[in-house]
C-alpha cells in the first residue's frame, strides 16, 4: 500500500515563537484525527527551527521533519550551506530538493540536484524531489517532456533500491503561490504520467508502491478532491501549511 503524505513547506516564514506555536497546534490537531495508519505528516520549517520542531513533535509517530534544502557536499568551505549529515544529526528525516524556487532563484540544475539526492540518501535521509513546468511550457504542450527530463536527469540516476527511499512532488510552477490550482484532471494526468515513467524504469511493483505528491496552491478547500485521484498520494503544501487548522483539514482529507 502506498504511503499517503501531507508535507508542509513553511518556506521563509515564521519567527521562533510563531514556529513553536504552529507546530504545537499541528501536533495537537493531528493527535485528534482518526486517520489511517498509512498517513504521514512531514513538517519543513526554516533551518533555524528544525531542531525545535523535531523536539516538539518527536513523540508523535505521525510526524516527521524535513529540511527545505541541503548541499551536495559532506563538509568544507561552503559558507552559508548545510550538509545532509548535519540534518540527520538533529533528527531530520527528509529533505526537499529541486523546488521550483531553488531552480529559479539559485540556478539549481538537474545534474546538481542528482548530486544532492545522492548526498541525502548517503546520510539515510529521504529526498522529496520536486518537478514541474512553467506556464509557457504547458501552453506549448511541452510539460510532459520537461517533467520527464527533470526526473531522468535528477532522480532516475538511482538504482532500484535507492529509488524506493525517495518521494516525488509534482508542482506545476504556474500554480505555486498564485492561488491557481491545477484541475483535478490535470493533476491526475501528470501523476499518472510520472508513475508510468517509474514503471518503465523500475518496474510495476516499485511504481505501484511509490508515493507521488501534488504541490501548487493545494489548500483546505480543494485537497479532498485532489487526493481522491488514483495517482495523487498527498500534497506538498505551501501557504496553507502556515495555518494549523487549515493544515489539519488537509491532513484529514484522505
DSSP states along 91-137: T--EEEE--HHHHHHS---HHHHHHHHHHHHHTT-EEEEEE---HHH
**Given 94, 137, 171, 191, the catalytic residue:** 171
Q: How many CB atoms lie within 10 A of CB 230?
A: 9
Q: What is the pLDDT of residue 202?
A: 98
Check if 71 is active-site: no
Higher pLDDT residue, 89 or 181? 89
Burial class (CB in 10 A: 0-12, 13-18, 19+), 1: exposed
Check if 171 is active-site: yes
239 confidence band (pLDDT: 50, 70, 90): very high
* Interval 9-60: pLDDT, tens: 999 999 999 999 999 999 999 999 999 999 999 999 999 999 999 999 999 9
**Given 71, 99, 143, 191, the catalytic residue:** 99
Q: Is pLDDT of 177 > 80?
A: no
What value does the CA radius of gyration of the chain take, rounded to a whole number of Å?
17
* Interval 69-124: pLDDT, tens: 999 999 999 999 999 999 999 999 999 999 999 999 999 999 999 999 999 999 99
The residues spanned by each domain of the chain are 69-242
Q: What is the pLDDT of residue 213?
A: 98
Mean pLDDT, residues 195-215: 98
Structure-block grid coordinates of residue 239 = 501557504
Q: Is pLDDT of 142 > 90?
A: yes
Q: Which secondary structure element, helix H or strand E, spans residue 214, and what is its range?
A: strand 212-214
Q: What percent of the chain has pLDDT over 70?
A: 100
Return the C-alpha torsion angle 77, 78, 80, 85, nearest 10.
Answer: -100
Mean pLDDT, residues 153-164: 98
Q: How far apart are CA 50 and CA 68, in angstroms?
A: 10
Question: 200: which residues sit within 8 A by CB, 6+ positions away?
Answer: none
Q: Is pLDDT of 179 > 80?
A: no
Mean pLDDT, residues 117-146: 96
Mean pLDDT, residues 162-169: 98
Q: What is the pLDDT of residue 227?
A: 97
Q: Is pLDDT of 178 > 90?
A: no
182 confidence band (pLDDT: 50, 70, 90): confident
Nearest to 70 by CA among 17, 129, 23: 129
Superfamily designation of domain 69-242: Aldolase class I (3.20.20.70)
Amino acid at each position: 500500500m502506498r504511503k499517503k503524505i501531507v508535507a508542509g513547506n513553511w518556506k521563509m516564514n515564521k519567527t521562533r515563537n510563531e514556529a513553536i506555536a504552529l507546530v504545537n497546534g499541528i501536533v495537537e490537531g493531528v493527535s485528534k484525527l482518526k486517520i489511517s495508519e498509512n498517513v504521514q505528516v512531514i513538517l519543513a520549517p526554516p533551518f533555524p527551527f528544525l531542531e525545535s520542531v523535531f523536539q516538539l513533535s518527536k513523540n508523535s509517530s505521525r510526524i516527521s521533519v524535513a529540511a527545505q534544502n541541503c548541499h551536495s557536499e559532506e563538509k568544507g568551505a561552503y559558507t552559508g550551506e548545510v550538509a545532509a549529515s548535519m540534518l540527520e544529526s538533529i533528527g531530520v528525516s527528509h529533505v526537499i530538493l529541486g523546488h521550483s524556487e531553488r531552480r529559479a532563484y539559485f540556478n539549481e540544475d538537474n545534474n546538481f540536484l542528482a548530486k544532492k539526492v545522492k548526498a541525502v540518501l548517503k546520510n539515510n535521509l529521504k529526498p522529496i524531489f520536486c518537478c514541474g513546468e512553467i506556464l509557457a511550457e504547458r501552453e506549448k504542450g511541452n510539460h510532459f517532456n520537461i517533467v520527464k527530463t527533470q526526473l531522468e536527469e535528477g532522480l532516475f540516476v538511482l538504482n532500484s533500491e535507492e529509488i524506493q527511499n525517495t518521494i516525488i512532488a509534482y508542482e506545476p510552477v504556474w500554480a505555486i503561490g498564485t492561488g491557481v490550482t491545477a484541475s483535478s484532471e490535470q493533476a491526475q494526468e501528470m501523476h499518472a504520467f510520472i508513475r508510468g515513467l517509474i514503471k518503465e524504469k523500475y518496474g510495476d511493483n516499485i511504481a505501484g508502491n511509490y508515493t507521488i505528491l501534488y504541490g501548487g496552491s493545494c489548500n483546505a478547500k480543494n485537497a479532498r478532491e485532489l487526493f481522491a485521484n488514483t495517482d495523487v498520494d498527498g500534497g506538498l503544501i505551501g501557504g496553507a501549511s502556515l495555518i494549523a487548522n487549515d493544515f489539519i483539514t488537509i491532513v484529514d482529507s484522505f
